[in-house]
A and B are shown apart, each in its own frame.
Chain A
Amino acid sequence: MSVVARHIVLLAGLLASFTLLFIVAGTPIPVAEWDWIDVASEGGTALLGAIWCLIVLSSRPDGRVTRLLAGGLACIMLGSWADCMDEFIDVEKAALWDNALEMLVPLGMVILTAGMVYWRHEQANLSDHMRKRERLFRSHRPFDRITQLADAAYLREQLRLESRNDGPCALVLFDIDDFHRINREHGQGEGDRALQAVAHMLLLNLRNDDLLCRYAGDRFAVLMPGLNQYEGEDAARHLCRMVGAMRHHAGSRRVTITLRHGCADAHGAPDALLAALCRQMDAV
């Protein structure tokens, strides 16, 4: 049974047991006395609470935030359901458990709020992590599947923005030496792992303002605002040294990874700039 199906069964089971509880403990109210507006609003809230709960559970990895959000929503769902049951079935007003069940709604809201506070923390951490990968603004775009970096289209967009600024800005391209050999000899899976390792190493050695992209294949691009071409060149050499010092293993075999680079001033038409820099990379 899939995870989603299990969640659906669980929620349906909770709702059904509540219904059963009311049927056993109370006396039915005649249909003529049902308040349809109350039924619709309370039943609707319960139903929507269930849907929200399922959306949260199916779209997020398990963890504290997910459990709090889903738990809060589930409480709201159950509280509203109890309210809704009250419309059909009369329960002794003195029965404390009925009141307690209705208290589930505010309780759920408190849990949900706690979940949202933690969620905010989580987002702040994630944004921090993503900063070097997306820089100035966030747009809906696919990340590169393998390295989780932005792609060439995003780089071009950023270069267009940068060309409007007057300050210095350097653009560096990196190629992995003999990358095709890793793919041939160890398979594309190992090639992908090497790309991830290089991406991590580069990220660790970048400033917060820098932007790292996977241009295509084994070519990475780093945009360095505030650095002129010579400073960019210097930073690039440092990055090459750091990657060269890395010990990467394909299976149990050690694979030496070295980079070559090309650097240019990042002002100008993005396409022409990148084409020229790529030509320069081919000549290296």
Chain B
Amino acid sequence: MNTALIAQASENDTQNLTGGLFIAVVLLTVAITFWASRQNKTAADYYAGGRSFTGAQNGFAIAGDYMSAASFLGISGAIALTGYDGFLYSIGFLVAWLVALLLVAELLRNSGRFTMADQLAYRMRQVPVRTAAATSTVVVSIFYLLAQMVGAGALVALLLGVSSDSAKNLTIAGVGALMIFYVVVGGMKGTTWVQIVKAVLLMGGTILITVLVLAEFNFNLSDLLGTAAENSGQGSAFLEPGLKYGVSLTSKIDFVSLSLALILGTAGLPHILIRFYTTPTARQARKSVLWAIALIGTFYLMTLVLGFGAAALVTGDEKEEIATSGGNLASPLLAEAVGGGPGSTGGAVLLALISAVAFATILAVVAGLTLTSASSVAHDMYANVIKKGDVTEKQEIRTARIAAFVIGGVAILLAIPGKNLNVAFLVALAFAVAASANLPALLYNLFWKRFSTRGATWSIYGGLVSSVGLVIFSPVVSGKGEDPTGKNLSLLPTNIDISWFPLENPGLISIPLGFFFGWLGTVTTKDRDSEERYVELDVRTMTGAGAEK
């Protein structure tokens, strides 16, 4: 009788359960935001959460900010579909954190206040460097944000089992409205707690599924891999590099280019950088990166089990579904399979749970991105470029809130018509811009005394224009044609082809260019003003003397 009852759990019930858990996630995060907003008084509260987060808290928040739905659903999906090459991708995402730990986190915490630009503006001319840094901050964040929002529309629709255009539009608008709410009401404090909660949910959900998958194979990894290879139909090639990136010389070089952008881009992502300001000291910032590395590393190790687990354990119709979803449904359907399979109560509960985790993941990441752009617009552009520093904290915070509304609104308006376009490349592009435009300027500023205002603006604009420019003429924007199912693989309609740059990832060219322009702009100017305050910057970054408290 029991089995009969279990079998009654229909697809409808699963969707109701998923919907219920989505609402629970929304209610939980809204409550947190209200609770966190009680003490939002000063600019440091709004932009940096009062610099009151411990290393461990900030480590969870960094992990929550960094691990997007693209890595949760995308990487396990890529492994499920292309085997080992999906794993290759995630290693770059982790190793990158060493750049942040060794070269950036502590020094930035000691020398900046609220935004990436603060660190440059410490010894450069305010208006040009802030304008440049704010431009690249907003560009990187909007690219990343658009990819997340378009992805959210498709994902939530997929997870809830609705596929109409109006449902997707509604989802995008709903996610957008929520992120605006978190940022406007909660500021950095609210956003941080949303990210912490998300990181806990994500780690918990992933650990649960990983253990269940491994238990199916008596914790024998080799057996899991063997079954995955067998069921993939690819044999042992499934466990070796090459299925995705190894098809041609171009795709191999493209992979090198992507790898460079990943390891150098992370430490230049503005939404990651501003997280370092939320701790009381540089030492806590260091501790937070250690926590982040532990969490992110553990997570990517588990995606290996999830991806190969999905290839090994998900069969029949569900296997087809993973392929049609481009891999995004691998983790949720794996959860259903290890919970007892389609139609079982256990399967339905786990499917709903993992879907809700994915939803929380999307919310936390888009909130972080919106806050970052709004902070840069308010603190860099409004307060320091337009008003030349002659503003009260109250005016600045109000501007940040208005900016969050506008940026969120623009993101919704762009994501709705863009929802059927192929925008997955925007995440890789955001990393490439961060590596080409932001990281060179940050590193030069910290370690090269002679670095000048012109060098800073040239490296930022040079890296930005070359990375975005190359992508416009790359196959991701036009000329890639259609896949066998008739889906356009490029951004522009298939009858337009303006591509001449062969790589999909510009990093290989644009990162050296960013460094080159920074050097060129500096050695060709007689301006030595920025050297005067290098002594101070140097002492401050290394010792924390005079750092913001």
A and B bind:
no
Q: Which residues of A contact B (CB under 8 A)?
A: none
